[in-house]
Amino acid sequence: MNTKVPFNDLKSLHLNLKDQLDEAIKDVIDKSLFIRGKYVNEFEEMFAKVIGSNNCVSVANGTDALYISMKVLGLKSGDEVIVPAHSWISTSETVTQANGQVVFCDTDKSTFTIDPEQIEDKITPKTVGIIPVHLYGQPAEMDMIIQIAKKHNLWIIEDCAQAHLAKYKGKTVGTLGDIGTFSFYPGKNLGAMGDAGAIVTKNSEIARKAEMYARHGGVKKGIHEIEGVNSRMDGIQAAILTIKLKHLEKWTKDRQKNAKLYDEHLQNINGLELPKVASGREHVWHLYVIKNSKRDELKKYLNDNGIQTVINYPTALPFLPAYKRLNYKFEDFPNAYSNQSKILSLPLYPNMEFDKINYVADKIKKFE
Ligand SMILES: *Cc1c(COP(=O)(O)O)cnc(C)c1O
């Protein structure tokens, strides 16, 4: 079947920027600015400003951003960290990687973000932090999470990998917790042309430690205060991201416009549940995720009609083979479990043509 509607279209997104991108990449090569240098500094400064934070430490990818954040916050062996049962595996695997214990918490059935009502039940004397994920681009219920964290003296790392510029009660995500972590994987709302990530924080001491940890434990050449890791954003990615960052606000609005069109076209269809946005939250639609109990048939039908869809993610984290050791049962996370067989991500990207949205909606209406 020919693809009529791709899941994403980065090629056309980059077409208008081609001359600028070519020129920036050429400049990196001409000046050998491969590691550090002015493009990386410029991007860090710009990104912190756009998010409304004071510090941005660029790293190699969004997974490293999570891992480094936990090392910097002093995670020790055996410490417990609460993460949502429904996310990309980076959110939980980095807890283990940093020597902590992953404690999953079920998600809210309709918003897919961590259910704050269930967090306190998961807290033990070993709990040190919570990682809410602003999944699909919708902020988690931060007021309650912050309240719980304060009461129990826990840190918060916001996993903002899918939520660049999303807002919770007017505040940009990444500025609400102790740390915000971002991914610039090519398909994310702000994407590089390879791997890249960032840590943002209002706390300069945390930023200093994160920078040190990501640069082999030292920010001055030859002086290693601690043992760290090597996690850097390279100059070419920084140059590309600086150019693309200038368009992020417009692209976000275009995503919101397109999500609204889907909302309008897909009203009142039997068996179809549209994504819900909770009050006070500005969704940035990294993914437009519908629910249907005949999901697999719908996916196949759309594919037969040339429409690419994706399941993000087919198995909730606690039920993955990677967590078999924890012996979870489906009843332990009923919402994440029930959602995993119903969710389907429709194509949605900023440069998506209206006739493509109409075509997808039209086909879904005709699905029986
Ligand atoms: C993409 C993603 C990450 C990891 O980002 P990488 O840059 O691919 O390492 C972490 N958390 C979530 C929720 C993500 O979607």
Give me the pLDDT at residue 11, please.
Answer: 96
Is residue 178 a contact partner of residue 207, using CB atoms and an 8 Å limit?
no
Give me the pLDDT at residue 157, please.
Answer: 98
Query: 31 C-alpha vs ligand 1 centroid, how far in Å?
Result: 31
Tokens of 166: 């999303």
Query: 367 C-alpha vs ligand 1 centroid, how far in Å?
Result: 33
Query: 63 C-alpha vs ligand 1 centroid, how far in Å?
Result: 6
Q: DSSP character for 244?
A: H
Which residue type, as a one-letter code, is found at position 82?
I
Query: 88 C-alpha vs ligand 1 centroid, how far in Å?
Result: 7
Which ligand 1 atom is the nearest neighbour of the CA of 286?
A: 15
Give me the pLDDT at residue 1, please.
Answer: 64
Q: Which of 132, 88, 121, 110 is nearest to 279 (CA)?
A: 110
Q: Average pLDDT, whole number, for the chain?
A: 97
If one residue of 59, 70, 88 were mutated to test the ligand 1 pocket, choosing by the most ligand atoms within 8 A of its CB, it would be 88
Q: Which residue has the tokens 């924890």?
A: 326
Could you report the per-residue pLDDT of 193-230, keeping only the tens digit for each?
999 999 999 999 999 999 999 999 998 888 999 999 99
Which ligand 1 atom is the nearest neighbour of the CA of 63?
A: 9
**Averaged pLDDT, groups of 10, the chain, 368 residues long:** 92 96 98 95 98 98 98 97 98 98 97 98 98 98 98 98 98 98 98 98 98 95 94 98 98 98 96 97 98 98 98 98 97 98 98 97 94
Which ligand 1 atom is the nearest neighbour of the CA of 64?
A: 9
Which ligand 1 atom is the nearest neighbour of the CA of 135?
A: 13
Query: 155 C-alpha vs ligand 1 centroid, how far in Å?
Result: 20
Which ligand 1 atom is the nearest neighbour of the CA of 65?
A: 9
Query: Residue whose CA is closest, atom 10 of ligand 1?
Result: 90
Query: 62 C-alpha vs ligand 1 centroid, how far in Å?
Result: 5
User: What span, in angstroms and rounded, lies between the C-alpha atoms of 291 and 309?
Assistant: 13
User: What span, in angstroms and rounded, lies between the C-alpha atoms of 233 and 37?
Assistant: 11
Query: 188 C-alpha vs ligand 1 centroid, how far in Å?
Result: 9
For 130, 132, 225, 328, the CA distances from 80, given in Å and listed in that order, are 9, 14, 27, 17
Which ligand 1 atom is the nearest neighbour of the CA of 162?
A: 15
If one residue of 58, 97, 185 were mutated to test the ligand 1 pocket, choosing by the most ligand atoms within 8 A of its CB, it would be 185
Number of H helices, E strands in the chain: 13, 13
Query: 93 C-alpha vs ligand 1 centroid, how far in Å?
Result: 11
- Residue 118, C-beta contacts closer than 8 angstroms, at least 6 positions apart: 105, 106
Query: 168 C-alpha vs ligand 1 centroid, how far in Å?
Result: 20
Partners of 172 in the β-ladder: 167
If one residue of 8, 59, 63, 64 were mutated to test the ligand 1 pocket, choosing by the most ligand atoms within 8 A of its CB, it would be 63
Query: Residue whose CA is closest, atom 5 of ligand 1?
Result: 62
Query: 189 C-alpha vs ligand 1 centroid, how far in Å?
Result: 12
Give me the pLDDT at residue 72, please.
Answer: 98
Query: 89 C-alpha vs ligand 1 centroid, how far in Å?
Result: 8
Ligand 1, residues at Cβ distance < 6 Å: 61-63, 87-88, 90-91, 133, 159, 161-162, 183, 185, 195, 197
Which ligand 1 atom is the nearest neighbour of the CA of 87?
A: 13
Partners of 282 in the β-ladder: 167
